[in-house]
Amino acid sequence: MAVRAVRKAGRIVAAVAATALVAAGAAACGPEDLTGGGDGKASGSSSASVSPSESGSESGGAGGSAVKAPPAGSDALARTPASVKGGVITVGDPKAGHTVKLYEDPRCPICKKFEDSGAQALVKPVAEGKVKVEYTIASFLDKNLGGSGSVNAANALRASVDAGKFPQFHAAVFANQAASETEDAYTPAFLLKIAGTVDGLRGAEFDKAVQKGTYKKWVGVAMQAFTDDGMQGTPTVVIDGKKAASDSLFDQDAFAKELKGSGIS
């Protein structure tokens, strides 16, 4: 009982610290340290303002709301190739002249904020073959806050590559993120409901991979890649080897300008 009490207290402290970081304008989620900044350097698990309608649970979202379909823009990447090498998922033409590296944790609300805004500026140049995006999916928030949602979601995202639906499913996962990262919403059952919004994704092989955790070993490889790259916060975006300014990530026009500065338009 004492151990359970300590764990519960730890989660409460983490949640309180997260709220404080939001008030201070934090712009990143990070492993371990709950006191950091927002440029991808050591930072705390922080909460963004996300409406209840954007959250999820096994019953279909907070308050019983329906599972949300991926943003319409994700269809533009339906024919864009996705591949896996080591712990990295690459979307786009392998021969593209530019590379954007993106580090995310599925439970990180700041990552959702980026996906809803700045990341939309990447859709057109990726679809046109001008840039490829290398995703490193971290899962440290499970350790920070308890639960297994990040691992479950990363496992399902890896399975979606084999099904040829990673861009659409990736968008749908973030569209259905819980209102708070302290809510462990990404269960296998809920991830399959999310997958049901992506045409052609559900099938025996994909469903089994999600339910059985087929790619959990790969999830560990991806987390190690995150660590090996020296990353300490999400989202971190690196454009052709240069870290993008954190204040450009959360506005589509601002991030488009950042991309243009690297010759991507």
Are the CB atoms for 222 and 154 separated by under 8 Å?
Answer: yes
Between 134 and 50, residue with greater pLDDT: 134
CA distance 134 to 116: 18
Q: What is the pLDDT at residue 40?
A: 37
Alpha-carbon span 144 to 182, nearest angstrom: 9
Residues 6 or more apart whose Cβ sits within 8 Å of residue 260 = none
**Model pLDDT, residue 69:** 84
Q: What pLDDT shows up at residue 32?
A: 67
Please state whether the predicted TM-score (pTM) of the whole model is above 0.85.
no
pLDDT at 65 > cutoff 90: no
Which residues are registered as beta bridge partners of 90? 83, 134
Q: What is the mean pLDDT of the chain?
A: 83
What's the pLDDT score for residue 180? 82
Comparing C-alpha atoms, which of 81, 121, 105 is closest to residue 261? 121
Q: What is the pLDDT of residues 26-59, one digit of tens each?
A: 468 988 643 333 333 333 333 333 333 333 333 3
Averaged pLDDT for residues 11-36: 47
